Structures are given as C-alpha cells and as structure tokens.
Amino acid sequence: MNHLDLLTFARGSALNWALIIFVAGVALRLFEIFGLGRKADLARPRTDSPGSGWRTIVTRSLPPEGMLKREPVTYIGGFVFHIGLFVAIFFFAPHIEFFRSMTGLGWPSLSSALVDASVVAAIVALAVLLAHRLNHPVKRLLSTFGDYLAWTLALLPLLTGYMAYHHLMLEYTLMLAMHLFSVELLLALLPFTKLFHTFSVFISRWYNGDIFGRKGVAS
Amino acid sequence: MKQAEQPGSVGEGLKQRGITRREFLKFCTAMTAMLALPPAMASVMAEAISKARRQSVIWLSFQECTGCTESITRSHSPTLENLIFDLISLDYHHTLQAASGAAAEHARELAMKGNEGKYLLIVDGSIPLGNPGYSTIAGISNYDMLLETARGAAAIVAVGTCATYGGLPKADPNPTGAVSVGDIIKDKPIINVPGCPPIPVVMTGVLAHFLTFGNIPELDALGRPKSFYGETIHDRCYRRPFYDQGKFAQTFDDEAARKGWCLFKLGCKGPVTYNACATTKWNDGTSFPIQSGHGCIGCSEPNFWDAGPLYKALSMPVSATAAMLGGAAAAGAAAGVAITWHNRSTKAAAKAAHEKVTVQELMREEK
C-alpha cells in the first residue's frame, strides 16, 4: 500500500467508520444522559431567578474574581488551547470544505498563516497545561488515565496537521494520512471519554445554574 | 533504421549534422539545470555525450494508449529528432519505426543480440497477467516479451503511469490483472517516469542523464528521479499564494477562477502529486493544467484513478454521505433509548424491592 492508497483509505472506509461511531456514540450518550431524568421538583423556587441557567453558561466560562491570579496557567492555557483548536477546526479552508461536503454549509476561511499561528498557540498551550498538570500536586493527584488520554487525542490532530502543512518528518501524503487517522481516533473515542464535554459542557452548566437558582444559591 | 551509415559516436554525428559546439553546450547547460546538477557539470555532460556511442534503445509498448509516445514527440529540449539522430539509436518502437511484422521483430532481436547487456529498455503500458491473450505483439504475450527483452538490458525506464504503477488498466476492478514493470522485473535497475503522460522533457532528461553518467539518477521511494519528482505541484504552483490567502475558485467559471485563484476546492490534487509540471511546464514551457484553469488530477501518482473523485477537494470524504450519518444518529439514538429503558427498569426494580424499616424494628435489632 503506497502513501496515496493509505490516504484514500483514510478519506474513505476509515473515515466512514470513524464518523459512524462518532455520530452514533454522541446520539447514544445524549439520549442516555437526558433519559436519566430527574424527579419533579415540587418545592417552590427559593428565589425568583429566571434565566439563571443561561447566565451560568457565561459566568462559569469566565474566571471568578481572584481565580485568574491564583490559577493563571489553567485559565489562560485553557482559553488559548480551546480558541486555537476552534479556529483550526472551523476556519481552515480545507476543513470548511469537509463540513460543506457533509452539511452543504460553507463559510469564509482564514488565511493559512493565521490558522498556523493558532495551531502553534494551541500546541504550546497543551504542552504548558501538561507540564502544569504534572507539577501541580493537586492536579496530579486528581488526574487519571482518562485525562492523559484526552490530552493525547487532542494533541495528535494538531501536531500531525502542523507537521503535514510544514512538510516535517514524514512525506506530505503520508503525514496527511496520519493527520486523518489521528482525527478518526479522536472522533471514535470522543463520545466515550472526557472529551464528550464538547457536547455536554454547556448542558451541565445550564443545569447547575438552573438548579442552584431554584435553591437560592448563587452560582 | 540504417545502421551502417550511422557514425560511431555522438560527437561525430553532431559534426556531420552541422551542430556547433556552442549549440551543443547550450543544450547540455539546459539539461544540467533541469537535472538539478551543478553548472560545472554542463561541460562534463558535453564531453561524456559527445564521446559516447549512440545508445541502443528498445521501446516496448504494452497496454497503453500511445499518449506517452505522443508526449515524447513534443519534447523541445532535446527534440525527439535530436534524440533519435544524435544521441540514441532507437532500434525498436511500434509507432515510430517504419518496419512492421517479422521485420520489426527482427530489428528488436538484432538490437538485443548486438548490444547484449548494454541496451536501454523503455517500456510504456502495463502488463496483463489475467490472460496472456489480452495483449500480444507478433503473437508474443506482453509478459513474455518483457521478460525476454529485460534479460539483456542495462537498465529499464518505465514511462507513463501504466508502466510504472499499472495506471488506467489497473484501476478498479482491473479486468486484465494489469501490473507494472516493477511488479515483474526485480533484478534490473528501473527508473520510473510516471505521468499520464509524463512531461516530454522529463523523459528525455532521464535519457540524457543515463547517457551522460551511464547510471541511473537518484530515485525516491517510488523509483522516480528526485530531480523531477522531488516536490509537489502544490509547493511549486504559481497559484500557491492564493491558497495561503484563502482565495479559491468555487466553480470553473466564476470571477475567482477568471482571476486565477487556487483550484483546491475544485478537486486539485496538487498537494499530493509529485511532478515537475509547475516548473518545467508543457509544450516548450507554455503552460500546464493548472495554468490553463483545471486542477491537477495527480496523474503521476500510483493508483490515482482510485484515489477518490477527481472533482472533490482533497479534504472531502471519498464516500461518506449525510444519509450515512443520519443512519448512524438513528442507530445511536435507538441504543440510547434501549439503555435508558434498561436504567429505568433497574431503578424501578430497586424501588419495588425496597423494604421499609420502622423505628421499632431497628430498636429491636439493637437489643
């Protein structure tokens, strides 16, 4: 199997299976989570706080007062990584073509240089966050295999994409195939790892805000 | 071809034809530049070629469309006429030779005997292994003729994607069981010059290298000369800046296409195609596919016919569809409902099995 054959496989059957597992997995997890249900809350809300859930989606996404000073690496690193990843996924022209082919929707792309810079920022942020996780006693204690797995799955597509674009280490076609395989690994495992927060993060923030609002607790 | 009248060396032949040393050096300088050799090699090349005996060449055509021959006849530097009359002795070539039938085969046998171990074998077209009768020449199957002719060759140049990697005949479902020259011949140096067809000056350039150095040029992992196949079309494309700026043609006739913006979205395979089209160009350096408004189809890559639709961008899935994802979502949702049902029935069973304990019962147990 030559490099182009490998790339064709990565764009073909391998991608199909990864997408099937990803979509089915996400649907399964969402139904499972929503299907858990909650007992009807018969008590009258402590405070009349409409929109508490929606507000919390925003407030929990920003550092509370003083926390940015106490945990600058976690907050800044987290933001840089997530924004960098978002820009790379949704604003690189070839990626938009992928979404257009699957959904029919297209939007303007950013220049390669800007996407490149955001990828570098995301990779650096991931490296710093890992170093911090390993050096911070509390973070290290709290970390499990799942955290390191999620870190690796997020890093590989960024790294292989960067190396393919810059023709580093492997021949371009082969590296592009590796990039696709790393994305496929990410897609297949995302619904079943901590990376599922991609879909659940705002749902859980809304729920927390809403339930605390009803109980009269600031959130 | 009249062997007796041919001069012994290339230099003599050039003199006879009134080609000056200045003209010949100019040609050698162009060749060294094209082969990415140091400028000083031009005079070495001139020396070597002019002293060399005209190289005996046998050209075999198997399952092919004659596009490779058509292409090489358009070579401008050197021209095919230059090559045939000055540099090589083309002893056998179906399309170009005057002889036919038994006389033609006799010419091949004569060349093989007279230049045992020294002649250069050029092959275009793939070789069918499914049935020897799929392609024969003078009643000899392609497979047998290749084995027989390759035996005494100094080296083999496989020209065109069919001879190098199987090409169109090998495309799925490969009805003739087509294979490349390299799939059959393992004990001879093979230079792969892929392309559908290959660039004329790349073919003649490779021949010039062989004549000059008597060996094969540096090859990549797919057996291609690095001097011509070292970089991708995309990396050397004059439209590359548009790719980097995010400026793309969306259709073949929109404003962006007229402005000459990047053709990536229209399925250009330039990023994964290694060839010299963007630098040497075609027809005496006039143009190449992308310059004339069509994306690269990747014709010099192995199995390019089966590498996804020609007009789908490289980053698009080959076969995934929205319907497929809809099916996956439905299956996932069904599984989610099943799990929910299971969770709820477990909860209900636990609730049903729950026994209430009164304070009295607890106090009795304490006693």
CATH of the domain at B146: 3.40.50.700
Residue B84 has pLDDT above 80, yes or no: no
User: Using CB atoms, which residue from A35, A102, A172 is nearest to B271?
Assistant: A172
Residue type, B300: S
Question: Assign residue B223 a region: left if phi > 0, alpha if psi is -120 to 50, beta otherwise?
Answer: left
- Is residue B121 a part of any domain in this protein? yes
Domain count, chain B: 2
**Cβ neighbours of A21 in B, within 8 Å:** 328
* Contact state of A35 with B340 under an 8 Å Cβ cutoff: yes
How do beta strands B120-124 and B55-61 pair? parallel
pLDDT at A99: 95
**Cβ neighbours of B337 in A, within 8 Å:** 31, 35
3-state class (DSSP) for residue B178: strand
Is the domain of B248 the same as that of B212?
A: no
Residue B3 has pLDDT above 60, yes or no: no
pLDDT at B4: 37
* Contact state of B316 with A98 under an 8 Å Cβ cutoff: yes
Tokens of B204: 């003649």
Q: How confident is the model at residue B62 (pLDDT cuts 50, 70, 90)?
A: very high
Is the domain of B122 the same as that of B170?
A: yes
- Is residue B14 a part of any domain in this protein? no
User: Using CB atoms, which residue from B264, B315, B320 is nearest to A95?
Assistant: B315
Cα–Cα distance measured from residue B75 to residue B81, given in angstroms and rounded to the nearest whole number: 9
- Range B110-127 average pLDDT: 94
- CB neighbours of residue B24 within 10 Å: 19
pLDDT at A116: 97
Q: How confident is the model at residue B36 (pLDDT cuts 50, 70, 90)?
A: confident
Cα–Cα distance measured from residue B207 to residue B169, given in angstroms and rounded to the nearest whole number: 26
- Report whether A147 contacts A133 (CB < 8 A): yes
User: Final residue of a domain: which of B267, B287, B306?
Assistant: B306
Is the domain of B262 the same as that of B153?
A: no
Which of B165, B222, B233, B316 has the highest number of chain A CBs within 10 A, making it the mutation to test binding with A? B316
Residue type, A8: T
User: Using CB atoms, which residue from A3, A8, A104 is nearest to B318?
Assistant: A8
Is the domain of B210 the same as that of B243?
A: no
pLDDT at B367: 63
Which of A16, A116, A199 has the highest number of chain B CBs within 10 A, making it the mutation to test binding with B? A16
Residue B359 has pLDDT above 80, yes or no: yes
- Is residue B330 a part of any domain in this protein? no
Phi (first) and psi of residue A104, to 5 degrees: 85, -5
Q: What is the 3-state secondary structure (H, E, C) of B234-298?
A: HHHCCCHHHHHHCCECCCCCCHHHHCCCECHHHCCCHHHCECCHHHHCECCCCECCCCCCCCCCC
- Is residue B355 a part of any domain in this protein? no
Q: What is the mean pLDDT of chain B?
A: 90
CATH of the domain at B240: 4.10.480.10
* Contact state of B308 with A12 under an 8 Å Cβ cutoff: yes
Q: How far out from the chain centre does Cα B162 lie?
A: 8
* Contact state of B243 with A112 under an 8 Å Cβ cutoff: yes
Residues 98-127 of A with CB under 8 A from B: 98, 101-104, 108-113
- What percent of chain B clears pLDDT 70, i.e. is strictly above it? 97
* Contact state of B246 with A93 under an 8 Å Cβ cutoff: yes
User: Final residue of a domain: which of B264, B281, B306?
Assistant: B306
- Is residue B21 a part of any domain in this protein? no
- Is residue B282 a part of any domain in this protein? yes
**Cβ neighbours of B329 in A, within 8 Å:** 23-24, 27
- Range B307-315 average pLDDT: 94
Is the domain of B156 the same as that of B278?
A: no
User: Final residue of a domain: which of B270, B291, B306?
Assistant: B306
Tokens of B183: 């799939």
Residue type, B19: I
CB contact burial B52-77 (16+ within 10 A = b; e otherwise): bebbbbbbbbbbbbebbbebbeebbb
In terms of CA atoms, which chain A residue is nearest residue B248? Answer: A93
- CB neighbours of residue A171 within 10 Å: 17
3-state class (DSSP) for residue A42: coil
Q: What is the pLDDT of residues B197-209, one digit of tens each?
A: 999 988 888 888 8
Phi (first) and psi of residue B191, to 5 degrees: -105, 120
In terms of CA atoms, which chain B residue is nearest residue A174? Answer: B272
Residue B354 has pLDDT above 70, yes or no: yes
- Report whether B191 contacts B227 (CB < 8 A): no
Q: How confident is the model at residue B210 (pLDDT cuts 50, 70, 90)?
A: confident
Query: Over chain A (219 residues), what is each successive 10-residue block's mean pLDDT?
Result: 94 96 97 88 81 89 89 94 97 95 92 96 98 96 97 98 95 96 98 96 92 82
Is the domain of B78 the same as that of B177?
A: yes
- Range B328-343 average pLDDT: 95
Cα–Cα distance measured from residue B100 to residue B102, given in angstroms and rounded to the nearest whole number: 7
Is the domain of B100 the same as that of B134?
A: yes
Residue B189 has pLDDT above 50, yes or no: yes
Which of A6, A20, A90 has the highest number of chain B CBs within 10 A, making it the mutation to test binding with B? A20
ipTM of the complex: 0.87
- Range B102-115 average pLDDT: 92
Q: Which domain range does residue B242 map to?
A: 233-306
Is the domain of B296 the same as that of B170?
A: no
Helices (H), A92-196: 93-103, 112-135, 137-142, 145-165, 172-189
Is the domain of B288 the same as that of B211?
A: no
In terms of CA atoms, which chain A residue is nearest residue B341? Answer: A35
Picking from B145, B87, B86, the residue whose alpha carbon sits closest to that of residue B121 is B145
- Is residue B238 a part of any domain in this protein? yes
- Range B279-300 average pLDDT: 94
- Is residue B291 a part of any domain in this protein? yes
In terms of CA atoms, which chain B residue is nearest residue A104? Answer: B322
The string of DSSP codes covering A151-170 is HHHHHHHHHHHHHHHTT-SS
Q: What is the pLDDT of residues B8-17, one digit of tens each?
A: 677 777 777 7
**Cβ neighbours of A113 in B, within 8 Å:** 244
- Range B110-114 average pLDDT: 93
pLDDT at B6: 45
Q: How far out from the chain centre does Cα B78 lie?
A: 22
Cα–Cα distance measured from residue B365 to residue B367, given in angstroms and rounded to the nearest whole number: 5
